A and B are shown apart, each in its own frame.
Chain A
């Protein structure tokens, strides 16, 4: 669905993946804060959010951007994705009352 939105708003594909991965950090914190039952936790955290975010596409975006000469962008998304994802986790956990942190 985000691919459709990114095309509609003409966002670069690598930026969509970056947003998805950072947003996934916040969403998974929300799921942990909700203290879901085991089956629902597997569905939401392992399946839905695990499938929503992607490490492999993020890494190939880093490599291809670097090979295309966009070295600063490649290094920035390479480093900032896990950092911002973790910050999103911390922020959402804090907003949700510290259940997940």
Chain B
């Protein structure tokens, strides 16, 4: 799902940057909301990372050049094509919406013992459910694509 050449990566960089700004801001707002509702840092991280893992499955099927319907069939083709949407929503938006550095800083600074029992449970939940959420997104995306293909 990445650009096929260095030139196309440069060409798509503004879309990644724009998506990244939106994704990082949304993550910040969700983490802040979870904290305001009494949740801990790990809960906020789990929500954004697992939601992002689910959404990237959907985005991959919908916009990857090998994954989804052709640009001509796509209702969003007028927005600039599949590669740009993938750069904006996938690499930029969901790439920045989810975070590994946040996970590491939570583990590293959140407790005197980085892997105390409560954190270990939340970490394992994120790592085990991450691929499951991706598979769920891919599965729902493929079903939507099948129904779209059968209608057209």
Chain B associates with chain A: yes
CA distance A50 to B55 in the complex (A): 18
Find out whether the CB atom of B134 lies under 8 angstroms from the CB atom of A63. Answer: yes
Find the B residue at minimum CB distance from A27: B101
Find out whether the CB atom of B127 lies under 8 angstroms from the CB atom of A57. Answer: no
Find out whether the CB atom of A59 lies under 8 angstroms from the CB atom of B100. Answer: no
Q: For the side of the interface on B, what is the size category?
A: 35 or more
Q: Hey, which chain A residues are within 8 Å of B69, CB to CB?
A: none
Interface size on A, residues (CB 8 A): 46
- Choice from B10, B23, B55, B104 contacting A85 with Cβ under 8 Å: B104
Q: Does B85 contact A (CB under 8 A)?
A: no
Find out whether the CB atom of A54 lies under 8 angstroms from the CB atom of B99. Answer: yes
Q: Does B68 contact A (CB under 8 A)?
A: no
CA distance A53 to B91 in the complex (A): 10
Per the 8 Å Cβ criterion, residues 37-64 of A in contact with B are 42, 45-47, 49-60, 62-63
**Which A residues form the contact surface with B (CB < 8 A)?**
1, 3-4, 6-8, 13, 16, 21, 24-25, 27-29, 32, 42, 45-47, 49-60, 62-63, 66, 78-79, 81-82, 85-86, 88-90, 93, 100-101
**Which B residues form the contact surface with A (CB < 8 A)?**
1-6, 9-10, 13, 16, 20-21, 23-25, 27-28, 49, 52-53, 55-57, 60, 90-91, 94-105, 107-109, 114, 123, 126-127, 130-131, 133-135, 138
